[in-house]
Amino acid sequence: MTDKSDITLTINGKAHAIRVEARRTLADAIREECGQTGTHIGCEHGVCGACTVLVNGEPVRSCLMFAQQADGKQIRTVEGLARGDEMHVMQRAFMENHGLQCGFCTPGFLMLAVGVLERELDISDHDLVDVLSSNLCRCTGYQNIIKAVRAAAIEMRQS
C-alpha cells in the first residue's frame, strides 16, 4: 500500500502542502516533510511523550496520530512557542528553574504544559503532577519540571 494523498498540515500558522502515505505518522511528517525537527521521536508507542504537539489546542502524541488525521487542523510545535527572540513564558520558566538537563524530553513537556495551562490555568497541584507524569524524563527527577510549570502558571495568571 504505497498510495499517497495530498494533505495540508498547518504548523505554527504556516501551511505545508505535502504528499504522504496513509501510514505516515504526524511526528514523521512534521519532522521529515515539514522540517520542524523540534518534535522528538522517542518510543514510537505513545508512552514517553517526547513527540507531544498541540492539535487544535489539545496535546497529542504525534507518533500515534496519522498525518492524514491532522489535515486541515492547527498544529503547534515547540518551534511555535517563542515570538522571534522572545521565549515563551514556559520556555523561560524551564530555563530559570532548571527544568531540563539533556533536553530530549523538553519539547514534549513544554507542549504538554502549555496545552494544559492554556485550557486550565488554575489546575491543582495534584492534577498538574498527574498530567506531567504522563511524559517521561530520565534526567531531572521531575521536581524542577513541576517547579517550572508552576512558575510559568503564576506568570501566565499575571499577564
| Residues 48-60 pLDDT 10s | 999 999 999 999 9
Predicted model pTM? 0.96
Which residue shows C-alpha cell 527544568? 99
pLDDT (0 to 100) of residue 136: 95
Q: Is 26 helix (H, G, I), strand (E, B) or coil?
A: helix
**Nearest Cα to 62, choosing from 15, 112, 16?**
112
